[in-house]
Structure 1
Amino acid sequence: MTGLGHERIWQVIGDQRRSLADLLDGLSGEQWRHPSLCAGWTVKDVAAHLTLQQLGPRDLLGTMVRWRGTMDRTIQHEARRRAASWTTGQLTAELRTMAGSRRKTLGLTELEPLTDVLVHSQDIALPLGLRLDMPPDAAAASAARTLAMRWPPPLPTVRVVRGFGLAATDVAWSAGTGPEVTGPISALLLICCGRTAALPQLTGPGVPLLAAALTSPQRRWWRSRGTTVH
């Protein structure tokens, strides 16, 4: 159960899109070109990706025509195409336009765009040393969805995180069994989505084991698909 109603989910999605647009308005050209938390993606690439969250059948058909062998490479290609052809002003304007919309990509629930905007906003803000708050109730709903997901296919990191006992310190939320890992729900959501930048925010006996599992050389390939959070 997510614990959130449809109205609250869409309210948070809209608020986060507007807040991210406000943050992006203040960036310099250098900051737009700065690497995001997603390996190989710039801040502008991730922002462009977030404007591609309302794809209908015709849009999806066009995406499939430009298929790049895997869903992750295709998503990255589409984001970079838009980042190259749109100005920064166009991207922020589109995010604001989307803030009042309840459209979502065909085949997804509203929890996928919620998770996308929550996590990708941090992919942009954290490496720039900026702050963008994440509502704890929404982060808890997204974390629960991420860990329970069967379709779309869950991130590979989910299989690791499920082996730990996660507990939030700022909202009534817990999941999993195993070595204990505690921290703000925003950090736990980022960890569920493979963002190891959140590890310093966590405490508990399970943290060293979790860090080792997520950062071992055998796991590094996960970072290349870090933008697919749904």
Structure 2
Amino acid sequence: MTPRPSSVIWPVVHRERLALANDLEMLAPGHWETPSLCPGWSVHDVLAHLVDTAKTTRLGFVRRMFAAGFDFDRDNAVGLAGERCADPALTLAAFRGVLTRTSTPPAALPTRLVEAFVHGEDIRRPLGIRSDYPATHVATALEYQVRTSTKMGGGKELAAGFRLAASDTLFEHGSGDTVRGPTLSLLLAVSGRPLGVGELSGPGAGAFAKHTGS
């Protein structure tokens, strides 16, 4: 897949941030503590994490990782706590304040798409909110995930041994029993997220679901 330049990726990320902010604008107070698809994190927690990562610069990331003893989970917890306001409305306002930022940790730019799409669903799915994502850009995120080790936040090992075939784009990857489904569903699966019944099909779907925990 041809690499997407920053002039293509950032506008997509900015649109996805805005769409998520708009979806959460009228969220009832009691729904902010709904468990997200991220184990141990609420919907409010994930939003605070998105504020934090939107502010993170390359140099700032290095400094923070050093302070956290190079423990990604510890760094995430510190960043989340720093951006999670007592009032979720204030966290949402802070998120709106970073919608158009182009700061990024020292990682490949497609990770910004992975974050936007996967964390968007981490929040939306438990709340029963649906959103239309640009399938071609989701495919860019999926392409990155299946080629990146889980140690680096990807899903290469989860995709291994299966032929993944998207039903809504031309994306195909790997060899083995075929697993077919929407590009977004494949992205969530190789990102370690649970899926709904029937999202994936094909002769490899059952084994793939067990392999990925989806």
Report the TM-score when normalising by structure 2. Answer: 0.88
Q: How does 1:170-185 map to 2 (within 5 A)?
A: 170-185=168-183
Gap runs ≥5 in structure 1:
217-230
Distance between the aligned counterparts of 1:195 and 1:206, measured in 2? 18
Q: Is the 8 A contact 2:192 2:213 kept in 1?
A: no
Q: How does 1:43-54 map to 2 (within 5 A)?
A: 43-53=43-53, 54=55
Distance between the aligned counterparts of 2:150 and 2:38, measured in 1? 22
Q: Is the 8 A contact 1:199 1:211 kept in 2?
A: no
Please, which of 162, 165, 168 is the counterpart of residue 163 of structure 2? 165
Gap runs ≥5 in structure 2:
none
Look up the match of 1:120: 119
Consecutive aligned runs of 4 or more in structure 1 exceeding 3 Å deviation:
2-5
1:61 equivalent in alignment to 2:63: yes
Give the residue type in structure 2 aligned to 1:104: T
Distance between the aligned counterparts of 1:17 and 1:70, measured in 2? 27
Distance between the aligned counterparts of 1:16 and 1:110, measured in 2? 15
Distance between the aligned counterparts of 1:172 and 1:96, measured in 2? 34
Distance between the aligned counterparts of 1:152 and 1:2, measured in 2? 24
Distance between the aligned counterparts of 1:152 and 1:8, measured in 2? 27
Look up the match of 2:147: 148
Give the residue type in structure 2 aligned to 1:55: T
Aligned residue pair count:
212
Change (3 A) 1:32 1:213: same
SS at match of 2:36: coil
Q: Is the 8 A contact 1:140 1:173 kept in 2?
A: yes
Give the residue type in structure 2 aligned to 1:119: V
Change (3 A) 1:194 1:58: closer
Look up the match of 1:224: none
SS at match of 1:99: coil
Q: Is the 8 A contact 1:35 1:41 kept in 2?
A: yes
1:41 equivalent in alignment to 2:16: no
Distance between the aligned counterparts of 1:193 and 1:114, measured in 2? 13
SS at match of 1:200: coil
Give the residue type in structure 1 aligned to 2:15: D
* 2-11 vs 184-193, greater mean Cα deviation: 2-11
Give the residue type in structure 1 aligned to 2:34: H
SS at match of 1:149: coil
SS at match of 1:104: coil
User: How far does residue 43 in structure 1 lie from its aligned partner after superposition?
Assistant: 0.2
For the aligned residue pairs, the C-alpha RMSD in angstroms reads: 2.3
Q: Is the 8 A contact 1:51 1:94 kept in 2?
A: yes
Q: Is the 8 A contact 1:191 1:198 kept in 2?
A: no
SS at match of 1:209: helix
Identity over aligned pairs, percent: 29
Please, which of 182, 199, 202 is the counterpart of residue 201 of structure 1? 199
Distance between the aligned counterparts of 2:204 and 2:164, measured in 1? 9
Distance between the aligned counterparts of 2:159 and 2:197, measured in 1? 12
Q: Using CA pairs below 8 Å that are at least 6 residues apart, which structure has the higher relative contact order?
A: 1
